[in-house]
Amino acid sequence: MSQAFKLLLLALTRFIVGGHGRWLGSQPSLAQRIYFANHGSHLDTIVLWAALPEGLRRRTSPVAAADYWGGTPLRRFVALDVLNCVLIDRLRGEADPLAPVREALAEGRSLILFPEGTRGHEALPGPFKSGLYNLATSFPDVELVPVFLDNLSRAFPKGAYLPAPISCTARFGAPIRIGADEERAAFLERARDAVIDLAGPPQ
């Protein structure tokens, strides 16, 4: 059932919002990666996942909030059985809320991450929280690939019940790595800038 639902979800995503990937600074690769992107819509997770080639989708787990994606049986089914998400609990104040994410990386999986931590209202991403920095320092060999999701906040804004048929894309940039002595604030600003640089029209 999950495989059939996966194919249906991909078909609906492509039909309604497009969601195709544009590889501007990198190419699809089986290298272990963290794809980090701006976050303006609940469609972001699905569109970025759908933009990856099939071989990469099987190896890549979106990191998602348990309070939303685990909030109903349907959303939980989509998150766990279709998207193979790593769910994190933002509400219980766990000692290390990133523990499930670290476990997935230790197992060799790639991840989809939204460093803002919650959906923003603006076209460009807001300040990044420290999670990406913490993972980059713990797993320095994992490639960090910036992604800009275009038009998602318009296609499925906060409060909407159904997505609008607005063409959306996922633009993949060049991988970055954390510097040996790079401070947290400097790295997070550089990572955010790498996403913002993808916001303009593709060359």
In the chain, where the domains are located: 17-196
Q: Which residue has the higher pLDDT, 50 or 42?
A: 50
Ranking 2-16, 95-109, 172-186 by mean pLDDT, the lowest is 2-16
Q: Decide the pairing of beta strands 168-172 and 143-150.
A: antiparallel
At 64, the pLDDT band (50, 70, 90 cuts) reads: confident
Whether the predicted pLDDT of 202 surpasses 50 = no
Separation of alpha carbons 146 and 162, rounded Å: 27
Contact 39, 90 (CB under 8 A): no
How many helices (H) does the chain have, and how many strands (E)?
Answer: 9, 7
C-alpha torsion 136→140→141→145, nearest 10: 30
Strand partners, 20: 169
pTM assigned to the model: 0.88
Separation of alpha carbons 185 and 129, rounded Å: 9
Residue 93: Cβ within 10 Å count = 7
Q: Which helix (H) or strand (E) holds 170?
A: strand 168-172
Contact 24, 198 (CB under 8 A): yes
Task: Extract the tokens encoding 195.
Answer: 């996403």
Q: Which helix (H) or strand (E) holds 60?
A: strand 60-65
Residue 74: Cβ within 10 Å count = 8
At 41, the pLDDT band (50, 70, 90 cuts) reads: confident
Contact 54, 30 (CB under 8 A): no
pLDDT digits (tens, 9 = 90+) for 82-118: 889 999 886 666 678 889 999 999 999 999 999 987 7
Residue at token pair 């906040």 = 153
